[in-house]
Amino acid sequence: MTETVLTNARLILDDEVISGTVVFAEGSIVSVETGSTRVAGAVDCDGDLVMPGLVELHTDNLERHIQPRPAVDWPHAAAILAHDRELASCGITTVFDALRVGTLRSSTGVGYGAYARALATEILAMRAAGALKISHHLHLRAEICSQNLVDELDSFAPEDRVGLVSLMDHTPGQRQFADTDKLRAYIQGKKGLSADQFDIYCEELRGFQAAHGAAHEAAAVAAARRLGAALASHDDTTEGQVATSAGHGVALAEFPTTVEAARACRAHGVAVMMGAPNVIRGGSHSGNVAAMDLAEAGLLDILSSDYVPAALLLAAMRLGERSGDMAAAVATVTAAPARAVGLTDRGRIAPGLRADLIRVRMREGFPGVEAVWSEGARVA
């Protein structure tokens, strides 16, 4: 048995940061001790932080690699590999690749087709072949305001490693885009619609939601149960929406848009996840509640990198600096997300758990990833 020994490190444990040594072998953590060791072959971390590998539940990063420019479909194997390596370099050792299910065909030309089943098959094949450096699971983003959602959900089976299903309702005039002017700026800027086309687009989406919303929501809840996946809500705004989510068995609220919704989540025992870019930018790009405000109110449980993988570690460090509790801040990107999706074998530095670890050096207030181990193998 070949052991790796990291010593002279500041270990971020469950509720404290200690100067110590961690030993791992055959993919698992063997021991955690205070103080340094001079055992032959030990890696002197020179006082760097050593923390659990980051756990990412909601990232759009793979989509960016698949479609680096509008209408460009990049070779998928190359895109998946680039995505995998990028996350590893950012300290992420477990990722739930977000794949949209549900199609949309609007007369305005704005829309999207089915792709999730085919892309999931490619990801899983590359994982089975040992081509991926970190641990990949699937996150199905069920678009309630869409078409053909039920058929797409039915194409997934329990062996597909679907660990999370989220209820995504982007109907204009509610949730993330309660202010339709925000949606107007986003859609017209991205898709080039005229004012009249935008109005038609909104009316069509409202029609899809009215025709299919209830059935789609029920199908997504049932799919999560059938697949053995955790269920998440998305962009809850009101106490009533949170109560409905809790009634479905939601364990995780992705990006609640108001303090009211976050407080209701806490009352129902639903974990609150916010975007790391929101922390770093100091607010939401959609004009919704600031993640740091929720953190300071004790209403933030989990962070997600969302659309910037490197944001995850940086945001955790910012939370730790602001609160003075680095262990609790790091838990928002390690133990808490792992717990929310039922992964009990990672997210903490403790004997017997997976040796998913990262070494981090602070430089002028910014964290730099020096080394990453995924199940004991050096991957970055």
pLDDT digits (tens, 9 = 90+) for 40-92: 999 999 999 999 999 999 999 999 999 999 889 999 999 999 999 999 999 99
Say yes or no to pLDDT of 325 above 70: yes
Helices 180-191, 195-227: axis angle to 10 degrees equals: 100
Q: What is the CA radius of gyration of the chain?
A: 21
Confidence of residue 14 (pLDDT cuts 50, 70, 90): very high
Of 1-15, 121-135, 199-213, the one with minimum mean pLDDT is 199-213
Pairing of strands 252-254, 230-234: parallel
pTM of this prediction? 0.92
Phi, psi of 219 (to 5 degrees): -65, -40
Distance CA 330, CA 50 (A): 11
Confidence of residue 310 (pLDDT cuts 50, 70, 90): very high
Report the pLDDT value the prediction gives residue 179, as an integer from 0 to 100: 67
**How much is the average pLDDT of 314-342?**
98
Please name each of the domains of the chain with its CATH number: 53-347 (3.20.20.140)
Mean of per-residue pLDDT scores for the chain: 93
Report the pLDDT value the prediction gives residue 257, as an integer from 0 to 100: 93
